[in-house]
Amino acid sequence: MNLQDLKTKFKNIIEISKDFIINYKRYFLAGGIFIVMALVLFLGTSSSGDTKSTSGVYKSFKKNNNSELTTLINNYYTAYAEGDTDTIATLATPVSDQEISYIAFYSQYIESFNDVQIFTKPGLTDNSYLVTTQVELKYNDIDTAAPGLDFFYVETNEDGKLFINNIYGSFNQNNNIYEMDTEISDLIAVYIRQQDLLDLKAEVDEAYESALESDANLSALMSDTLPAAIIQWNTDYTAEVEAAAEEAAKAEEEAAAAAEAEAQAAADAEEEANSYTGTTNAKANVRSEADASSDKLGSLESGTQITIYGEEGDFYKFDYNGTKAYITKDAVNVGDAEEETTEDTDEEETTNAAALTAGDKITLTSTVNIRSAMDSSASKVAVAYAGEEVEVVMSYAEGWTKVKYGKKEGYIRTDLLQE
């Protein structure tokens, strides 16, 4: 069926069901069960399960004699009148948050559902039912009950138990919350046009009008009090949903900001733990990024001591008045002069180096680089400063000593460890 056919069919359904749509807005639940039936042709996906003939929908109503179905419907109405949405959720599924809110609101007006009569026709699959109920809805502090009709689509679950498929319930249909199965919705569209249902509807209409005429309080409730209360509930619920969405978004932003701050704090702590000092050897510009064309934040005079947190290309990242900034490496000395002034050691120094014993703890007298290998060009493991202590692991005749510095191990020129 193409879109034009659907539109034509939709128009026909609207014409046929026009009186239903107008009249059933007066009844309980979310404003009438048949208002949505004209929309079913536009919704849904293909059905699942083994389908059967839909000819049963053309047969006359069958007065229900299924005790399990009777119990299911009556338990539903009892829970609804009590606003017991937890129990409703065990009988009907799915139940949206919006409907839960509505039941909590609307049940405050309800005393009970009385004289429930159940009529059925076969549903789309085995052990499924199109259910129409005729009820007397007794409102609190109103003497006269309001006659009404309701609709349920009942199916059998995998455990063989009946349940209300709430996708086709009046509230969900009126609010278009869930997507409907096309075949089921087509079946319902045929169902609501059957003469036996139209006759029952006319009968209930007449009883409803008589009830309103006989009880001014019921008439005022249905024409003024309830419509105004439903509008207010809808306004309040919409505001609650928007506020909850804003709160959730705010919480998500705060969580993201906290995670970012925590990650930054961890990165800063790691940088701080691995920081070392350097001294400028000329006047140099301070940049916002590791790029000579980035914004200039200021400049440092020659001989200025800085705390270095890392390297990025040809720049050192360092602390500049409490802000992380960058300075070219060429403008900074990092203590290499003390370490690498002499490439060779004499025989006496080598002999002394060999005398260093594993476990000896030595206090440094100058800042030195700790290397990853016994080579002055090897990568730095860390920078140790004058006054700090290292522990000897092993001293080698090559003029290097392996040391432990905190949790790190590396190599230092042996002559730099000698007092």
pLDDT per position as a tens digit, 279-328: 998 889 999 999 999 999 999 999 999 999 888 998 999 999 988 999 99
Q: 32 with 21: CB under 8 angstroms?
A: yes
Is omega for the bond preceding 227 within 30 degrees of 0, making it cis?
A: no
State percent of the chain over pLDDT 70. Answer: 82
Structure tokens belonging to residue 349? 């120094």
Please compute the mean of the pLDDT values over residues 209-228 and round it to a whole number: 96
pLDDT per position as a tens digit, 45-76: 333 444 455 678 888 888 899 999 999 999 99
pLDDT per position as a tens digit, 232-288: 999 999 999 999 999 999 999 999 999 999 998 888 888 787 888 899 988 899 999
* pTM over cut 0.85: no
DSSP state of 344: -
pLDDT of residue 274: 82
Query: Please, what are the domains in the chain?
Result: 3-214 (no CATH), 274-333 (2.30.30.40), 336-416 (2.30.30.40)
Identify the sign of the CA torsion 31, 34, 38, 41. Answer: positive
pLDDT of residue 54: 67
* Residues facing 278 on adjacent strands: 306
pLDDT of residue 378: 79
